[in-house]
């Protein structure tokens, strides 16, 4: 009898173990399908479960701590180097400077600026720049300066240490060099944009076309005004949500006059390879010429309080009062850096300063690009630009540093841009810029 009870107990225990094992296995299996926390169904940015992805909110996600404001080890470096003389003897009395950064051999676009008597040129090198070729260029003319990494550290120690090598943001050092040489205007261009802006008559007002606003808010698209063979065209950095906005087609314009002293930036369009994003290039032919010319179209005037992207490929900064806003962010990709700068600048420009978009004066023959890689590099533009424009439009900021902190706290910029902004502002102040 005892043996029989023992056998029953052992059997019941074994059955319980089997049942528990089955229940546990079932729960585990179910969790694979219904619990998105498990890594099996997780990608770096989102879960595959659900009918849609996630939007960038632009809400505050962190705080700019006092430690960030103190800076890292770079904060111990001087803002300006001890020797900021022009070693090649260029005085550039006209005050017109052109700034470019490149990792390529000298291009026709840079050669054109180099050979012009109307412009002084500063070429900002990087770790991959073929400096021998560029030094030969500089040695052939006194008003062309090539800044290798060594000279960058010598002239602007702290900022040179803060900007990563092989980053588009090293162009910032070229701007500072031009400011140190008392630049009155700066031609901000790329080495694949061939052409020069016309010299501006500072005594005459500019007749411009000002769009009548239909939509009460949001970024504006200047491209349709200039005419193209494409049914829809938009600049790199325009929020994708605005492509079909009512302010991009059949807009009425008023002719207005603006003093050149109130023009902060003139964005010149480019023929052949206009500045468009990878979405456009992957879904359209990509290459075209604008119908507009200086004879047929007045410049397009961005209305006060509105936003439109402009680039660092062919833009003329017309007033020293706006040079403080030339800083390119370094914690975003170069494909987004100049666009973020444009929106930030439009928010922080002096109240009277405006942005013009003008018919093309350059022809862009793009350096080698992979559109899929460009689309990846432009990720922030597609996912964050609409939120950024709305945030800028709704808020006031006492300083560029305060704005940079706010953008860091909301995920638009990284901590490195806070340190860079502090160093940049200190450098501009030390050179007694407004």
- 198-212, 306-320, 328-342: lowest mean pLDDT where? 198-212
Model pLDDT, residue 12: 65
pLDDT at 364: 92
What is this structure's pTM? Answer: 0.86
- Determine the Cα–Cα distance for residues 223 and 249; give it in Å rounded to an integer: 10
Residue 137 falls inside a structural domain: yes
What is the span of the domain harbouring residue 120?
A: 96-185
Instruction: Looking at the structure, tell me whether residues 149 and 202 fall in a common domain.
Output: no
Same domain, 313 and 167: no
Tens-place pLDDT, residues 50-60: 667 889 999 99
User: Are residues 256 and 198 part of one domain?
Assistant: yes
**Residue at a domain's end among 185, 218, 237:** 185
The answer to whether 113 touches 187, Cβ cutoff 8 Å, is: yes
Establish if 342 belongs to a structural domain: yes
**Cα–Cα distance, 252 to 254 (Å, whole number):** 7
Residue 104 predicted with pLDDT over 50: yes
Average pLDDT over residues 108-122: 93
In-domain check, residue 110:
yes
Task: Give the residue from 157, 185, 213 where a domain finishes.
Answer: 185
Other C-beta atoms closer than 10 Å to the C-beta of 340 total 24
Q: Is pLDDT at 33 greater than 50 in this prediction?
A: no
Average pLDDT of the chain is 86
- Count of C-beta atoms within a 10 Å radius of residue 85: 8
Predicted confidence (pLDDT) at residue 340 exceeds the cutoff of 80: yes
CB-CB neighbours of 203 under 10 Å = 7
Strands 314-317 and 185-189: antiparallel
Does residue 29 form part of some domain?
Answer: no
Q: Are residues 213 and 196 in the same domain?
A: yes
Instruction: Please indicate, yes or no, whether residues 125 and 224 belong to a single structural domain of this protein.
Output: no
C-alpha 385 chain-centroid distance: 11
Q: How many domains does the chain have?
A: 2
β-strand 253-258 against 263-271: which pairing, if any?
A: unpaired
Specify whether 326 is located in the same domain as 245.
yes
Residue 253 resides in a domain: yes
- The DSSP string of 256-289 is EEE-GGGEEEEEEEEEBS-S--HHHHHHS---B-
What is the CB neighbour count within 10 angstroms for residue 35?
13
Residue 64 lies in a domain: no
What contacts 76, CB < 8 A, 6 or more positions away? none
CA–CA dist 412, 395 (Å, integer): 15
- What are φ and ψ of residue 113, in 5° steps? -65, -40
pLDDT score for 342: 98
Q: With a cut of 80, say whether residue 17 has pLDDT above it.
A: no
pLDDT: which is higher, 212 or 26 = 212
Model confidence band, residue 39 (pLDDT cutoffs 50, 70, 90): very low
- Structure tokens given for 249: 């087609």
User: 75 falls in which pLDDT band (50, 70, 90)?
Assistant: confident
The average pLDDT across 302-315 equals 95
Confidence (pLDDT) at 354: 95
Alpha carbon of residue 281 to chain centroid: 19
Provide the H-helix boundaries in 284-377: 334-348, 371-377
Residue 26 structure tokens = 């079932």
| Percent of residues, the chain, with pLDDT higher than 90 | 64
Q: What is the mean pLDDT of residues 93-101?
A: 93
Whether 429 maps to a domain, the answer reads no
Strand (E) or helix (H) holding 22:
helix 2-34
How far apart CA 116 and CA 126 sit, in angstroms, is 24
Residue 253 has pLDDT above 80, yes or no: yes
98-114 average pLDDT score: 94
Is residue 171 located within the same domain as residue 202? no
Cα-Cα-Cα-Cα dihedral of 374, 379, 380, 385, to 10°? 90
Complete DSSP assignment for 167-226 = -GGGHHHHHHHHHHTT-SEEEEE-TTEE--PPPP-TTSPEEEEEEPP-SSSS----HHHH
Q: How many of the other CB atoms lie within 10 Å of CB of 141? A: 16
Is the same domain home to 355 and 234? yes
pLDDT tens for each residue of 393-417: 999 999 999 999 999 999 999 999 9
Residues 156 and 274 in one domain: no
**pLDDT beyond 80 at 68:** no
Regarding whether 174 and 306 lie in a shared domain, the answer is: no
* Residues 131-166: tens digit of each pLDDT: 888 888 888 777 899 999 999 999 999 999 999 999
Spatial contact of 330 and 171, defined as CB atoms under 8 Å apart? no
Q: Rounded to the nearest 10 degrees, what angle do helices 334-348 and 379-394 cross at?
A: 10
Q: What is the pLDDT of residue 83?
A: 62
Domain membership of residue 423 (yes or no) is no
Tell me the β-bridge partners of 47: 42
For residues 256 and 210, give the distance between their C-alpha atoms in angstroms, rounded to a whole number: 7
* Residues 168 and 230 grouped into a single domain: no
Round to whole Å and give the CA distance between 84 and 86: 7
Strand pairing class (120-124; 144-147): parallel
Residues 261 and 292 in one domain: yes
């Amino acid at each position: 009898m005892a043996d029989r009870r023992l056998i029953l107990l052992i059997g019941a225990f074994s059955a319980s173990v089997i049942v528990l094992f089955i229940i546990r296995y079932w729960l585990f299996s179910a969790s694979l399908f219904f619990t998105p926390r498990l890594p099996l169904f997780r990608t770096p940015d989102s879960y595959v479960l659900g009918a849609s992805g996630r939007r960038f909110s632009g809400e505050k996600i962190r705080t700019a701590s006092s430690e960030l404001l103190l800076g890292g080890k770079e904060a111990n470096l001087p803002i300006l180097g001890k020797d900021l003389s022009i070693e090649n003897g260029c005085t550039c009395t006209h005050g017109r400077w052109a700034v470019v950064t490149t990792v390529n051999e000298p291009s026709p676009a840079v050669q054109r600026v180099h050979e012009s008597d109307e412009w002084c040129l500063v070429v900002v090198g990087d770790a991959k720049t073929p400096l021998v070729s560029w030094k030969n260029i500089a040695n052939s003319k006194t008003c062309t300066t090539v800044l290798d990494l060594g000279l960058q550290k010598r002239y602007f120690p702290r900022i040179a240490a803060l900007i990563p090598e092989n980053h588009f943001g090293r162009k910032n050092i070229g701007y500072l060099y031009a400011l140190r040489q008392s630049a009155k205007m700066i031609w901000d261009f790329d080495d694949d944009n061939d052409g020069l802006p016309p010299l501006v008559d500072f005594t005459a007002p500019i007749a411009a076309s000002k769009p009548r606003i239909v939509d009460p808010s949001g970024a504006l698209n200047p491209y349709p005004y200039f005419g193209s063979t494409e049914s829809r065209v938009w600049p790199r950095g325009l929020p994708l949500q605005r492509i079909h906005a009512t302010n991009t087609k059949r807009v009425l314009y008023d002719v207005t006059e603006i003093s050149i002293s109130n023009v902060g930036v003139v964005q010149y369009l480019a023929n052949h390879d206009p500045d468009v994003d990878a979405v456009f290039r992957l879904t359209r032919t990509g290459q075209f010429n604008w119908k507009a010319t200086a004879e047929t179209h007045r410049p397009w005037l961005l209305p006060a309080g509105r936003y439109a992207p402009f680039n660092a490929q062919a833009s003329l900064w017309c007033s020293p009062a706006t040079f403080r806003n030339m800083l390119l962010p370094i914690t975003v990709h170069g494909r987004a850096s100049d666009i973020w700068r444009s929106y930030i600048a439009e928010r922080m420009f002096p109240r009277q300063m405006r942005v013009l978009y003008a018919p093309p004066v350059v022809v862009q023959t793009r350096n080698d690009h992979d559109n899929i890689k460009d689309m990846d590099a432009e990720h922030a533009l597609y996912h964050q630009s609409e939120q950024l424009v709305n945030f800028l439009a709704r808020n006031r900021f006492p300083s560029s540093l305060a704005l940079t902190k706010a953008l860091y706290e909301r995920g638009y910029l990284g901590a490195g841009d806070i340190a860079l902004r502090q160093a940049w502002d200190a450098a501009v102040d030390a050179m007694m810029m407004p």
